[in-house]
Amino acid sequence: MIELIDNAIQLTVLIGCCTYSAVQAIRRNSHVWFLLTCFYGAYALGLVYWLLFIAFHSTYPSISPISDFSWMASVLFLIVMQNTLRLPGESTYRPLAAWAAPAFSTVMCFFLFQWGDYFLNILWAVLMGACGYQALRGLLWATRQNNGLRNCQYFHMSALIFLLAEYSLWVTSGFWKAENLSNPYYWFDFLMTALFFNFLPSLKKAAIE
CB 114, CB 76: distance < 8 Å: no
The answer to whether 132 and 104 are in contact (CB under 8 A) is: yes
Q: What is the pLDDT of residues 3-53, one digit of tens each?
A: 778 888 999 999 999 999 999 999 988 899 999 999 999 999 999 988 888
The dihedrals phi and psi of 79, each to the nearest 5 degrees, come to -65, -40
Residue 62, pLDDT > 70, answer no
Indicate the SS3 state at residue 29: coil
% of the chain beyond a pLDDT of 90: 57
Tell me how far apart the alpha carbons of residues 111 and 96 are, in angstroms, rounded to a whole number.
24
Would you give the DSSP letter of residue 177? -
114 DSSP 8-state letter: T
50, 15 in Cβ contact below 8 A?
no
pLDDT digits (tens, 9 = 90+) for 184-196: 888 888 999 999 9
User: Predicted confidence band at 55 (pLDDT cuts at 50, 70, 90)?
Assistant: confident
Q: Residue 200 and residue 206: Cα distance in Å, rounded?
A: 10
At residue 208, the pLDDT reads: 52
Q: Rounded CA gap, 193 and 5, in Å?
A: 12
Query: Any idea where the domains of the chain sit in the sequence?
Result: 2-205
Mean pLDDT of the chain: 88
**Dihedral, 63, 66, 67, 72 alpha carbons, nearest 10:** 110
